[in-house]
Amino acid sequence: MIEKQKLDDLIKKNEKLNDIISSKPVLWFNPQKQKQQKSQSQFSFEDVLEAEQRLQRFSSYIRVAFPETESLQGIIESEIKEIPSMKKAIENEYTSELPGRIFLKCDFALPISGSIKARGGIYEVLKYAEQLAIEHRLIQYNDDYAKFNEEEFYEFFRQYKIAVGSTGNLGLSIGIMGAKLGFQVTVHMSSDAKEWKKQLLREKGVEVIEYSSDYSKAVEEGRKQAELDPMCHFIDDENSRDLFAGYAVAATRLKKQLKEENIRVDEEHPLFVYLPCGVGGGPGGVAFGLKQIYGDHVHLFFGEPTQSPCMLVGMMTGLHDEISVGDLGLSNRTEADGLAVGRASKFVGKMMEPVLSGCYTVDDEFLFKSLKLMMEREEIFMEPSAHAGVYGVISLMKEGEEYIRQNHLNMDKATHLVWSTGGNMVPLTERELMLNKKI
């Protein structure tokens, strides 16, 4: 816990903390963002390209193991989609006029596990599987990786274990992918994880351990138990370079997609990207990749619930994982279960210092309003967490005037990209409950 005196000092230095403490939606601009990226020592764009190649090698396996990826040739990717009706709805309800175009990055529809975790989570499982298979001479890099679908591989991976701590979606990705390959998977689930996610994993033969506490505790317990077992690989949501690399591959794919749609990103045409943020790995990886590609022409913002602004608070104070939302008297309770994280990843927070334009917060009420609107206007279902992305556009229009002026941004030619992080796995009965929720 942070002492009262220290908290008072922090508030003196960061006035916005007062609004954050009283759980008002805020928009914070990152003063450490740099023009022109400094070279990153811990992680480089090479790592991203290597991850992309690895995913390419595995595409022939993914294709046979998950036939729904056939049309994508075994590449786990989502489309981008313009949402003009939702744009009108936002203009009517929240801002008078919204210059530029709004697109959705449809990660809610990613194959296999229906959320952004299908990028990082699946990637890390595949990388571990490849490493084991190479070490034991089951495969060589230029073989056809469809072999991973054979019984012999399944029996081999059966000896190994994978463990992860999760609020739900990461557990789903790791569990589905790991179990498919043959691994014994254990998911340590925080209290906010939804019942249907636990059930689905158990049906796949995954061991689910439930905790009555929040995400950080579930990760900590998982890490402790895995350390005792040399046959167990722990997927560390708070510190993993592999997860980060898997997420970052999204950037190279997006570049192609924008090109195909004739959407320009340059001095005249700014790109704004709004990413829902939990512990930080998913949005951080994507942001890192996009910054490498677009430099000063991309403006990256993270969205968090008003009760769980861990990345905002960590970056604003520079304390990263040494401050939790509980230190500010916030509850860390939100219906956006993927974002219910009280302490951010220090690894990601540090990486984001030169990269991120800012962070904003959004209340749960908006998430459900947006969930209904998106269904009515675009016939798209996204889970509550994903709607934290939608609020980014509104937050910027309400409070971003100075940022836009200082950076001389031509908003009429802007592209807004709302990263829709999840939704497809949510069962119909759950969707009904969310759509009919009284706000």
Token pair, residue 311, equals 């990345």
Q: Which is nearer to ligand PLP, 178 or 270 (CB)?
A: 178
Backbone φ and ψ for 243, nearest 5 degrees, come out as -55, -50
Question: Would you report the helix, strand and coil content of the chain in percent, each value rounded to 5?
Answer: 55, 15, 35
Token pair, residue 243, equals 């997860």
Least CB distance from residue 156 to ligand PLP, whole Å?
30
Least CB distance from residue 202 to ligand PLP, whole Å?
19
Least CB distance from residue 171 to ligand PLP, whole Å?
10
Q: Which is nearer to ligand PLP, 115 or 186 (CB)?
A: 115
Which positions touch ligand PLP (CB under 6 A)? 115-117, 169, 276-283, 338-339, 383, 385-386, 421-422
Q: Which is nearer to ligand PLP, 100 or 422 (CB)?
A: 422
Q: Which is nearer to ligand PLP, 138 or 219 (CB)?
A: 219
CA–CA separation, 174 vs 429, rounded Å? 24
Give strand ranges (E) for 16-56.
Answer: 27-29
Least CB distance from residue 133 to ligand PLP, whole Å?
27
Least CB distance from residue 166 to ligand PLP, whole Å?
8
Q: What is the DSSP letter of 24?
A: -
Measured from the Cβ of residue 247, the count of other Cβ atoms closer than 10 Å reads 28
Q: Which is nearer to ligand PLP, 125 or 386 (CB)?
A: 386
Q: Which is nearer to ligand PLP, 378 or 383 (CB)?
A: 383
Q: Which is nearer to ligand PLP, 119 or 233 (CB)?
A: 119
Q: Which is nearer to ligand PLP, 86 or 388 (CB)?
A: 388
Least CB distance from residue 271 to ligand PLP, whole Å?
20
Q: Which is it for strands 101-105 and 80-82: parallel, antiparallel or unpaired? A: antiparallel
CA–CA separation, 118 vs 422, rounded Å? 10
- State the chain's maximal CA–CA distance in angstroms: 62
Q: Which is nearer to ligand PLP, 74 or 121 (CB)?
A: 121
Token pair, residue 109, equals 């529809």
Cβ contact 402:409 at 8 Å: no
Beta bridge partners of 234: 163
Least CB distance from residue 93 to ligand PLP, whole Å?
23
Name the residue with tokens 């043959």: 182
Least CB distance from residue 424 to ligand PLP, whole Å?
10
* Cβ density class 71-110: b for 16+ within 10 Å, e for less: ebebbbbbebeebeebbebbeeebeeebebbbbbbbbbbb
Least CB distance from residue 197 to ligand PLP, whole Å?
10
CA atoms within 13 A on the CB side of 201: 30
Q: Where are the alpha helices (DSSP H) in 228-363?
A: 241-260, 281-294, 310-317, 346-352
Q: What is the DSSP letter of 31?
A: T
